[in-house]
Amino acid sequence: MIRVLVVDDSAVVRQVISNELSQFDDIEVVGSAMDPFVARDKIAQLKPDVITLDIEMPRMDGLSFLAKLMQHFPLPVVIVSSQAAENSENAIRALSLGAIEIVNKPGSQFSAPDVKGELVRAVRTAALAKVTARTERPADKERSVVHRALETTHKIIAIGASTGGTTAIEDVLNGFPANAPGTVIVQHMPAGFTTAFANRLNQSCKVQVREAENGDSVVPGVALIAPGNRHILLQRTGANYSVVVKDGPAVNFHKPSVDVLFQSVAKSAGSNALGIILTGMGKDGAKGMLEMHNSGARTIAQDEASCIVFGMPKEAIQIGAVKDIIPLREITRSIF
């Protein structure tokens, strides 16, 4: 049974979330709180497994509370906020502080399907996550890394991640040298959040990081992040690589899908590619990584100990798609 504490300044929202979550046999709403100060006392009293948290609240905003919580009493947190959609920088900061998932709060129509779908999935994912004490990390442009000459300018790196992936991707990319191979990334994230995520990474990384647009060239020194709610594929024309950004049905319940990216990389880049699968719930990316492996690409999975959720890497390992299993902090060093 997943014990949930609902934290939101709106009594209506607290009631709706509580009612909808309580309809599921594996979830019990053990209490609610109107602000972080009440939440603090109820956490100690009720010992919830997961907290749903609004960002905009009286007396202390949700991000300040999240920072304190993750430093002194870390728990899995799902952000449920309309402000996250309006200010995606706040959403990205929440993930950096340790939030497991972010769910958009509908406006005036707080619909049951929205709660039953995205929020329930997020709560279940959060309940499985490994959470440790942490503080927000400053941008680190001075991180040193061992360099070696790249074998060819036509190398491609493809990265896929889901739950916990925003900080994992940041760890990996922060070690990339300025002339790192062209990189394409899928992070499971709703539309509207990926621009802020890319901008945040661009401030701390030596490579240029930006949200991908259809037709963008994949060149050394640039990392492209798939836009939320759009698939991204790699294509090759002669010696040049570019991306296709397009709509389409969800794959493995996700759009963008890691499988879609990895399968296109296997086809277009073959042995010139390197695939990295990071922390995340589910199996998205496993089959695509197997295709990359079979095409001659080197394939890396984040190890279980350093994953927030050892789902996607585990699935890829189990089907024989992975060559190397490496702790998160050692992945970049193993490449360059």
- Domain annotation covers residue 304: yes
219 and 326: one domain? Answer: yes
d(CA 121, CA 101): 9
162 and 301: one domain? Answer: yes
184 and 318: one domain? Answer: yes
d(CA 31, CA 33): 7
Q: For position 193, which CATH number holds?
A: 3.40.50.180
Whole-Å CA distances, 120 to 18, 107, 113, 135, 296: 11, 18, 10, 27, 39
For residues 56 and 31, is the Cβ–Cβ distance under 8 A?
A: no
Active site residue 162: yes
- Active-site pick, 18, 32, 162, 295: 162
d(CA 278, CA 290): 15
- Domain annotation covers residue 213: yes
201 and 326: one domain? Answer: yes
288 and 178: one domain? Answer: yes
From 111, 128, 145, give the residue that closes a domain. Answer: 128
Question: What does residue 180 show for φ and ψ, rounded to 5 degrees?
Answer: -60, 150
pLDDT score of 106: 57
Active site residue 61: no
Active site residue 32: no
95 and 172: one domain? Answer: no
321 and 179: one domain? Answer: yes
- Domain annotation covers residue 147: no
92 and 160: one domain? Answer: no
d(CA 223, CA 277): 16
Give the residues across from 244 on adjacent strands.
Answer: 233
pLDDT score of 311: 97
96 and 165: one domain? Answer: no
118 and 223: one domain? Answer: no
What is the value of pTM for the model shown? 0.81
CB atoms under 10 Å from CB of 279, counted, come to 27
Residue type, 76: P
Q: In the chain, how many domains are there?
A: 2
- Active-site pick, 49, 54, 259, 284: 284
Exposed, middle or buried, 11 (CB in 10 Å: 0-12/13-18/19+)? exposed
Range of the domain at 46: 2-128
pLDDT score of 107: 54
- Active-site pick, 188, 231, 254, 293: 188
pLDDT profile of the chain (336 residues), mean per 10: 95 90 94 94 96 88 92 93 67 89 67 68 94 62 34 76 96 96 95 91 96 95 96 90 96 96 97 97 97 97 97 98 97 94
